[in-house]
Amino acid sequence: MDLGMTIVVLVIILLCIMPFVIMHYNKVNKKKKMLQSLTKIAQQHNCTISQHEFCSDFVLGIDESRNFVFFFKQTKEESISEFVDLSEIRMCQAVKQARNVNSGSSSYSIIKRVELLFLPISKNKEEARFVLYDEEIDRQLSEELELVDNWVKRINTRIKAKK
């Protein structure tokens, strides 16, 4: 009877753990596919990704030798892939759009959109934008605010080093 009880307990434990194992496996596969897509975009421009960072449904990468930044975002509706040649950029900025909400006697801000904005050297060229978060598309804001600040510093350091 003790062996039977032990087996039942082990099966119950496995059933409880299995969803977490499956979620982890799916997350790893999603990241792997996103990195493969980012690498493919880089290869199309004769670049290699030397650094990258994941956040929710997108990945940012940089080729430090050729000074290119790459972006890949996978949503349910579409996949977005973009790149910027930093030799044509004078500065990168973080754009954080918010809206104010009043709730009784208090008010607070809700982030609507987070972007990386690339300002070109030439006045004839348009700005490039990587939309990291948009409240109309994305479900929840996660680490985008920290990530955008870190990447702005990283990119501006690369731009200044090449001048």
**Candidate from 6-20, 47-61, 99-113 with smallest mean pLDDT:** 99-113
Place of tokens 């350091």: 157
Q: Which helix (H) or strand (E) covers residue 140, if one does?
A: none
Helix (H, G, I), strand (E, B) or coil at 162: coil
- Average confidence (pLDDT) over 113-130: 92
Question: What are the phi and psi torsion angles at 84 (to 5°)?
Answer: -140, 135
> pLDDT tens digits, residue range 59-95?
999 999 999 999 999 887 788 999 999 999 999 999 9
What is the C-alpha separation between 107 and 63, in angstroms, rounded? 42
What is the C-alpha separation between 113 and 30, in angstroms, rounded? 23
> Do 106 and 121 touch, CB atoms closer than 8 A?
no
Report the percent of the chain where pLDDT is more than 90. 55
